[in-house]
Amino acid sequence: MTDRPMRDPADEDLTRVDSLAHEIFAGIANKWALLIVNVLGKDTLRFTELHTRIDGISHKMLTQTLRHLERDGLVDRFVHAQIPPRVDYHLTTAGQELRATVNGICGWTRRHLDHVEAARNRFDAGQ
Amino acid sequence: MTDRPMRDPADEDLTRVDSLAHEIFAGIANKWALLIVNVLGKDTLRFTELHTRIDGISHKMLTQTLRHLERDGLVDRFVHAQIPPRVDYHLTTAGQELRATVNGICGWTRRHLDHVEAARNRFDAGQ
DNA sequence: CGGCATCCCCCAGGATACTG
DNA sequence: CAGTATCCTGGGGGATGCCG
């Protein structure tokens, strides 16, 4: 938004709010984006399929997040010229690479359900 | 909030909004939580150190997110009985495990700065 | 079916200030 | 220095409706 040209890529840092790196990171580090990347996996899914597979996401957020991922080159969008419309989504190579590490977080979550639950009980017990 | 007892761990699914897995995942899948985990790394840092290392985070969000991570058993909190107060934060074993994959996302971001920038230019060019 | 625009509400989260 | 509490605003995000 503000004009801030000629930024040296070397000083791009995730922890600098005004850096490109931080901005890209922030756009990905939210549950809907990560879930979409995870659910897409290696598949090619159409809009409605994603919508049904990702419980709780609104029509609007799905569209919006998919646009964002497409713009950042994580998702390819294929529009079939037919009625009714059919639009397919697929992870790009870069998207696939991200998916690999996102799956790590998903896996971690599933493996630590009990750990977290126990920690919460302990924490809540001591106020 | 709603009483939903006796949930079979087997049907815990990240994509079910009312599942424990989704709730835990959602609490972690946001930029501040991930950045804190990343910045903490293997170090032991006090509140102020975190605050200065993570540009842009407010006092309130840092406290709040640290509490959340502590409650979920990702962060250990050490309060030194002294004046002025000194509070140290350190990743638990579970936190370290998560950090490994979070670093993957951070690394991915840094490696794909150019890719994303180019994709954005292409996207914006075609409207 | 999928996209986009509109309306609108709620709360995430920033700013500020007071304690121990 | 660290934590908690209060206030207040912006925009995230849901609901709805209309197009191609």
Note the pLDDT tens digit of each residue in A52-94.
999 999 999 999 999 999 999 999 999 999 888 999 999 999 9
For residue B2, tell me if it sits in a domain: no
Beta strands in A7-96 (DSSP E): 44-46, 75-80, 86-91
How many Å apart are CA B16 and CA B11, to the nearest integer? 9
Residue of B42, B92, B109 whose CA lies nearest to A22: B109
Question: Domain limits at A77?
Answer: 11-125
Question: How does residue A11 score in pLDDT terms, banded at 50, 70 and 90?
Answer: low
Q: In what order do the strands lie in the sheet with B44-46?
A: B44-46, B86-91, B75-80
CB contact, 8 Å: A123 with chain B?
A: yes
CB contact, 8 Å: A35 with chain B?
A: yes
For residue B26, tell me if it sits in a domain: yes
Contact of B37 with B102, CB cutoff 8 Å: yes
How many Å apart are CA B74 and CA B41, to the nearest integer? 12
A94:B115 CB<8 A: yes
Residue of A73, A89, A94 whose CA lies nearest to A40: A89
Question: How does residue A127 score in pLDDT terms, banded at 50, 70 and 90?
Answer: low
Residue of A106, A46, A108 whose CA lies nearest to A77: A46
For residue A64, tell me if it sits in a domain: yes
**Residue B25 pLDDT greater than 50, yes or no:** yes
Question: Residue A79 region, left (φ>0) first, then alpha (ψ -120 to 50), else beta?
Answer: beta
Inter-axis angle of helices A93-111 and B93-111, to 10 degrees? 170
Please state the domain count of chain B.
Answer: 1
Contact of B35 with B69, CB cutoff 8 Å: no
For residue A3, tell me if it sits in a domain: no
Strand B75-80 and strand B86-91: the pairing is: antiparallel
Q: A74 to chain B nearest CA, in Å?
A: 8
CA of B72 to C1' of C17 (A): 30
Q: B83 to chain A nearest CA, in Å?
A: 23
For residue B16, tell me if it sits in a domain: yes
How many Å apart are CA B8 and CA A40, to the nearest integer? 26
Contact of A30 with B119, CB cutoff 8 Å: no
* Domain harbouring A89, CATH code: 1.10.10.10
CB contact, 8 Å: B56 with chain A?
A: yes
Protein-covered nucleotides on strand C (Cβ within 7 A): 1-6, 13-17, 20
CB < 8 Å to B101, chain A: 101, 104-105, 107-108
Q: Considering only A2-16, A23-37, A105-119, which range has the smallest mean pLDDT?
A: A2-16
How many Å apart are CA A108 and CA A102, to the nearest integer? 10
Question: How does residue B83 score in pLDDT terms, banded at 50, 70 and 90?
Answer: confident
Name the percent of chain B lying above pLDDT 70.
Answer: 90
Q: What is the average pLDDT across B75-99?
A: 96
Question: How does residue B10 score in pLDDT terms, banded at 50, 70 and 90?
Answer: very low
SS3 B95: helix
